[in-house]
Amino acid sequence: MTIVFQSIKTHSYFVLRVFFFALWFITASKGTALAGSTGSGLLAQMEEALVSLADKVRPSVVSLSAYVPPSPSIRRQGDDSGAPAGAGSGVIIDGVKGIIVTNNHVVRGSGKIKVTLLGGEEKVGTVLGTDEDTDIAVVQIDIDKPLPAATFGDSAKLKIGQFAVAVGNPYGLNDTLTFGIISGLNRENVNLSRYEDFIQTDTSINPGNSGGPLLNINGDVIGINTAIINYAQSIGFAIPANIVRKVVAELLQFGEVQRGWLGVGIEEVTREIARQSNVKAGEGVMINSVFEGDPAHQAGLRIGDIILKIGGADVDTPSRMIRLIGSFSPGQTVSLDILRDGKREVVSVQLEDQKRKRDKVVKKILPDPSEPSLGLEVENVNNGNGVVVSKVYPGSTAEQEGLRAGDRIEAVNGRTVATATEFKDILDSVSSGGFAHMLVQRNKEKFHLALVQ
């Protein structure tokens, strides 16, 4: 028996496709005679499960929008024409204390935020802490009685193909539930935040869903929805629950996230580097700079060393290494498996506080007139097509925007760059506070990046 499904885009039809596939499976495996009774029963059970899930999770999801203090000078009482539009969603994780998790970009720059509960009750929330590196924020509201709260699941156990449900307020449509699957795991290099290890889902996510929960079929929060790709369909991203749980715990305890600092510049192991070092391409990351006085320098790490493991966990990309180091606390000693001159060694390093170290680095670097204002150095390439980034200063604009050593800059503000001199001349023509829009090539892929001069 062959079933052909028409190409469709809405997720409501996607759910029906799942159901009818189940019916087809029963028909094919148990016989057509059973399809009517068994199939109808299966559909009823699945529908009942989804309705039950919605009833369970919807009360814990809130709408977040800009808080405007009441003032007669702003608008007349009862006139809502100036009311701000909804900015995003959040999920209550502690109903007794009124603790809500959302995205940092939803509350960025706000000390207060308007929180709308299911049913329309409005409260004023206080932003307790934010973490820009993971795009997580914590908000608290005063409550008269305990509120329904969601529970975290274990995102480490997720598998591609599992069902997923998102609840949020897309385009101001409060209390919206959508259904899909887990499309991918461990997505990085999406350029959404510094620490990227996203869950990819085809569950319908739109502006206004940011900060809302992604849930499994048991109603456990497996991620916090954070972004979509505007020019694509059915590609959304969520921050894994295990990362959210750790970040929230530190924001509540310290008001900030405390992360370890190693003090090295790194790059991926290309085929050429792999051939020279007798490792596989993509195995480990290579150190291309060691900052004097920092933990790596004190532990004896050198330029050219390849870091294979951190604390026993494999390192395969620069992004993964950054996440691993950041997962350790300042002052903690970790073991690094490295490859040096073809020999494997284990080096112990006591990490420092990343935030304090980066703050010091920024203060040290930015006022120094001998260093580029954007915080990078470039050099010529043999074919005269662009310049290659030879160094990115820690804490600089270039580092914060994701530029890496080894990136090739082909054009700035629409002007082709052939030499380091031309690159400098173009930057000199950009006024202070102006943008330098760069065309960058990395691993045969090109993208645009804007730096403030």
- For the question of residue 210 being annotated catalytic, the response is yes
List 210, 234, 277, 319, catalytic entry: 210
List 105, 131, 133, 396, catalytic entry: 105
List 131, 133, 135, 305, catalytic entry: 135
User: DSSP secondary-structure letter at 152?
Assistant: B
* Backbone dihedral region for residue 100 (phi beyond 0: left; psi -120 to 50: alpha; all else: beta): beta
| 27, containing H or E segment | helix 11-30
Residue pointed to by tokens 């995205």: 103
- Angle formed at CA 347 by CA 345 and CA 351, multiple of 5 degrees: 155
Angstrom distances, CA of residue 355 to CA of 216, 222, 335, 394: 34, 28, 21, 11
Q: Please classify residue 437 by burial: count the beta carbons closer than 10 Å to its beta carbon, then call 0-12 exposed, 13-18 middle and 19+ buried.
A: middle
Tell me how far the alpha carbon of residue 107 is from its chain's centroid.
Answer: 16
- For the question of residue 11 being annotated catalytic, the response is no
Question: How far is Cα 124 from Cα 116, in angstroms, rounded to an integer?
Answer: 9
Sign of the Cα torsion 428, 429, 431, 435 reads negative
Of 407, 398, 395, the C-alpha closest to 439 is 407
- For the question of residue 314 being annotated catalytic, the response is no
| Residues forming the active site | 105, 135, 210
